[in-house]
Amino acid sequence: MILFPPAKINLGLNVLGKRPDGYHEIETCMYPVQWFDVLELLQRDEFEFVQTGIVVDCPPESNLCVRAFRMIQDRYSIPNVYMHLRKNIPMGAGLGGGSSDAAYVLIGLNELFSLDISKNDLRQMAGELGSDCPFFINSTPQIATGRGEFMENFELDLSDYFIKVVHPGIHIGTKEAYSGVRFIENRIALAGLLRQPIESWKYTLMNSFEYSIMTSNPKISDLKEQMYSEGAIYASMSGSGSSVYGIFKEEPTITITDTCWVAKL
């Protein structure tokens, strides 16, 4: 079985404050994009995890894919598998690649072993692995609230537009991202802003992480300005960074000097 876990972008990201449990209250719209990792799953007598492509620098048992497998194995007593993850989506980039990989392990094992786990139960298990993981069980536009685990489907079709994503080779850790975040006050509900013409998003859709991260990493700020200079209707840092994307009416050019990806939305 071969699966293709996609990346995501954030259309607006409001960090509203810190919760009593130590997490942060957020509001964001997650939108799937056609940049994929590759995940292969095969039943085997012995468990084996192989990772190629972009190097994931952590012990195998700490990898979210392996943790997702162990979760299903513990709860449903499935056999061992051979798992090969080809990593194409950069890490620490705000694109959700690791969360997507883990969610697709759950989806794939459910299908491979005919476990008949409901979408709701898959989302619940995905939430135990990470805040972004439940989004990828459906991989449709969704507004996320709470610490990111509460998802509500949102009707949004950007298929007439192109997207350009550039990763500047900078890794932004979660601790670094939240250390300088600016909480949003007196906000307008994100759903209402997204229903406005896309030309207005430049002035209304904000990312709470951008100010501090772009201040300490000017290259990311320069990338956003470059997107607008190239004709983007809307540009933003995705998630807590460091990737920057632009939405265009016409297909943009590919930048050779950075990890750059262009596709139809």
Where in the sequence numbering do the catalytic residues fall? 8, 132
**DSSP line for 165-227:** EEE-S----HHHHHHTPPPP-SPPPHHHHHTS-GGGHHHH--BTTHHHHHHH-HHHHHHHHHH
The three-class DSSP label of residue 14 is strand
Instruction: Give me the amino acid identity at 129.
Output: L
- Strands 48-53, 81-87: pairing kind: parallel
**Given strand 24-36, what is the order of strands in its sheet?**
6-18, 24-36, 142-145, 150-153
Instruction: Give me the amino acid identity at 186.
Output: N
The residues, any chain, with a CB within 8 Å of residue 184's CB and separated by 6 or more, are: 14, 15, 16, 206, 208
**Phi then psi dihedrals of residue 235, to 5 deg:** -140, 150
Which among 88, 66, 69 is positioned nearest to 78, based on CA atoms? 69
Is-contact 35 263, C-beta < 8 A? yes
DSSP-assigned letter for residue 45:
S
